[in-house]
Structure 1
Amino acid sequence: MATPTKDIEHFDDLLTCTICLETFKVPKYLPCLHTFCESCINTYIVSSVGKGKITEGFTCPVCRKMVSAVATLERPELWATTLPTNHFVTSMLDKRAIQKAEKMCDSCQFNEESKKAKSWCPICEEAFCDQCEKYHKTFKMLARHKLFSIQEMQSGDTHFEICEVQSCDEHPGKIIEFYCLDHSQPCCTSCATLSHRKCENVTSIQKAASGIKESTKASGLSQKLREHVIQLGKIIDDRNKNLADVENSTEEIKTRVTDIKTEILKHLDRIEETLIAELTSNKKHVGIELKDEVGMLSSYSSAVKKWKTVIDSVLEHGSEEQCLMEINKIEPKISELEQEIEDLVKNIKSVKVVFSPSSPITDFIRNTKSFGNIKIDKSSVSSLSCNLEIDKVDFRTGSINILQVIDVCNGAGSTSGIFVQNLLLFTVLQKNKVVKYNNDGQSLLSELALPGPPADIAVVTQFKVAVSSPGQVVCVVDSNKMTLLQTLNLPGIPVYGLCFVNKELFITCHGSTLTWINLSSGQQVKQRTTSGESYFVLSLSQTDYVYADSPTSVDYVVGNTKKFTYTNSDFFNPRGLGIDCMGNLYIAAYMSSNIHQITNEGEFIRIISALAVGIEYPLTIRFAPGSNKFIVTCTSSGKAALCEIVSK
């Protein structure tokens, strides 16, 4: 009897591709029996093989089991077509379409017409309208096919099997007609002739399948699977209980940490007072010295101005004799003054107040007596020079050093990150928070809970950042105090990645939309429609910006004019965009698991493997201002890699 619609709905997860999360389109299955859309698994295969530069095969996206490459095909983009079709899933999709009154005539659709189907042929596995049904019955070889009314099938009154024939996995153009009992393998005529011609027990598929539903083999398999489900359920319950225990103990630890923090804060208040007093004293001392120097130089300046006024006056109004007398008075004093100024300037030093952090925080209360040491650093002005070490780095050919891999999300999830005031800030999507680390990524300094899941983070000003949320919200955060300053609701505006053009104007994007928004008012300034996959955007100036425009391309736009489009055969699903201090652009492509480095003219420089920076699927890439350091975040593991580019 036909399966009721509600039973079919129960199997929706069976009919959904785990890659695109949509209903299967041309379902293909792997040796591990996991099924995917042909186009989805094709994209995955090409990306996997291209990423590893291998030809042996690829791993299943779900269970990671190795799938050997097709020996007869050298082109990975054709491997998906050779995978066997999941006929059971196809039949379930047909059945659901029929019972939802969604089935259209297959013959008409083949001819690019659209007519509602009236009948179903289980032999041909096709639905027909009235006219096509009539044509179907006119052929001698098809005349005996029993057709079912779709209306009766929808009502559940008709006994039918929607898929009475199966195509051979080895020979897709042929139908399964036999079954080899010796090898427990279904066969088409070619299989039976070529591979099983010496087998003694080959029978028809109908005879082999007769009574299989009521057999002990089928019921035994079902029971075994049920036992495994129960067993795994118990293990999962045990793990969840363990997780609850961890959460409870975590809360206890938090309480203890709060008590310790209170003690530390009291101690910090005491040593802060000492430090401020020392700082004030040093400031006063240095101020007196500098004021004395300014006073001395001011007196010299006043004397010189007065002498100049006297000379200018006598030259204009005095006699020759008076001019001679004044010159005789002033000229010797100028020589004395020049010597005094030279001696004074020679001893002038550039004065700075320098703070040196004290010993490690681990034994802070017991051992630390101050925040650090205050000293006056005096150096000659002529000896001051700029740090030009960054100029020695070749960003285009330099090696990548992994400095630290930070587990931001504790094992899984999505994160985005930025550099702020020599510190690192990251979003934690699954936990609705922003976290702050020190500059080497080894210590978690603080965190802030947010009203929604954060997707991306961008710098607004020196101590202010903005965090986007897919729920059409942008939050402004004080990155120094880690407090929420502003929540900007943007109804109707797609929000995901964001960047700031200036401190008042930012760009946000999602899917096929870029939107420019005023931060103060939340008003939309302008909007641009893209071809899709525009999840991150990089603003380079008031007019220049870069964004992904498809799963395989990135556009550089100036105003409303496209400057260039970047594509590459080893480039799938671009996400985060970065720029170094030399103007080179970086594109994180998560499906191809690599980072593409190009010039700001769109010229290819090199491809950096994601593994070279310590992660697998890159989501965002951001450089520290004026530095060779950068961070790359992962879209699945929740990790962030702190790296640097160094000369070879």
Structure 2
Amino acid sequence: MALPVTAGVHCDPCTYNKLTTPVQFWCLSCEEGLCKSCADSHKGMKATRNHKVITYEKSKEITSLGHLISQQCKQHNKVLDLYCPNHDEPACSLCISKNHRECKDMVSIDDVAKNVISSTSYSNLQRDIGNLEENLSMVMTKRQENLTNVEIQESSIESSIKDMRRKLDEHLNNLHKDVLQELTSKAEICKTNVKMSLADLESRLEVASEINTSISQIKEVATDVQVFLAIREIEKLVKIEHNWLQESLRQNKMNELSLDLTMDTTNIHSTLKSFGSVTISNKPAEVEIVEPTVGSAQISIEPTNRKIEKIKLREKTRTTFYEFMDNSHKHGCLIWSNGDLIIANEDEKMKVYSGCGQFKLEIPLPDIPSDMTEISNDCIAVTYGNGKRIEIANLKKYQYKTVKTILTTNTCWGISYYDNKLAVKISTLGIHIYDVNGTLLKQLETGAKVDFFYNIAMMKNIYFSRSDKNTVHCCDQHGIEVWTYQNYNLQVPRGITSDRYGNVFVVGSASKNLFIISHDGQGREILKMEQTPFSVSYDKVNNQLLVRTREAILLFDIDFEQ
């Protein structure tokens, strides 16, 4: 939507007549400035008397809402004047010829948007926004209570340990020190987890508040058509935020953490081999969130298997790189939680693109990145292959700040995050599992001694590809193999990722295609490509797949047909 941004703008009709008259009003329908005389004429003419005219000063107040109420087609830059009930989306004249040739029920958007402010969808949206704010506030309160309880438990257990220590002889000093260190480490894990989720929730609550402010402003100043378009855009935003919250709960990110101490004081001098152990109990958060009414598709907390024959790809974005990425096979890609696309680059940078494929900025890095995974809204883990290290960094406002460095015993490549753990592909050594504090939890043998590209994904199981054997593997988190997949048409498999249902997407670099493999190891080719693909990333909240090739990035919407 074209809105004025500076003072001293002249009346558009007067300017057309070679007059310079200061603007006093703004027509939201024509998107033009008007002087007092022209505004009066505007209201008097039959063709424009129903247009919504507001003061020029008022129009400047809603400049920030332009992206929500714009009547311009984002793809073709033409007026959105039609609506397709079949696809539930507005359309311009070019959209019809390209995307709606078979649609027979196209209607005028003006007819659809009549009385939209008094419609059920508008009132439902307002209620859903309020519910979203309440949901986020409620979960934040629970997390704050959890943080307080962990701190109280930490203090209480420390007192218990000290009381016990007074009963022991001097030779227990070392054991006393060990258990306190364990307590501090476990408590830090709890507090780090809760604080990260609190930061995420606070950020999401701010977004929800901004949405609520926007919908109130739109009601006051926008036309029916603009309100109708804004409702559609805001519904998408509300759905994204709600899906994120449910996905966080499903992935156990909001589980309540607590500390317990196990001690045995019987026969203490003869049998005590440690001063105690501190454990973390993890139980689902007791939170009942209010479901939104917008849209028809809701995300279930428990994964539901989907038949891979019913899964379809719809290309949404294709962005060609200006420069030829000769070593793109060594660098990963990622869909960030805000919808941006992040590409690891060979020049010690990460490049950020919008979900529409527009270049936004470059993020300087301390070394050449290999792969990356999102830990939370403002936290990312990056592998630096030849640097033999993993960095956990704060990425708030896309300013990279290292928080923790984890050194690895060999070059490290693919990385994936799930349930507060990092799975990392280590050259010649297999897959190493770390917690977010850098503690090595497990080492899993994969049999691949030379393969080092982007070949790891983790949910409840761990998935990896072996380009030397043309195979894709699934094992549990103890390293026990669940299935192995091999297909003659899948050659040199590299990038691998998974959706929320346990389906795996893997690219064949030599065969130039994309395969999907079900949770039980059955697969099929889902996309044939002209370019050579290397890495992939899946957005489990919005069901989108990002594929990186040497020449471009491609973003797909994933449709689950009934």
TM range (shorter): 0.3 to 0.5
Q: Choose between structure 1 and 2 for higher RCO, CA contacts under 8 A separated by at least 6 residues.
A: 2
TM-score by length of 1: 0.38
Higher radius of gyration, 1 or 2: 1
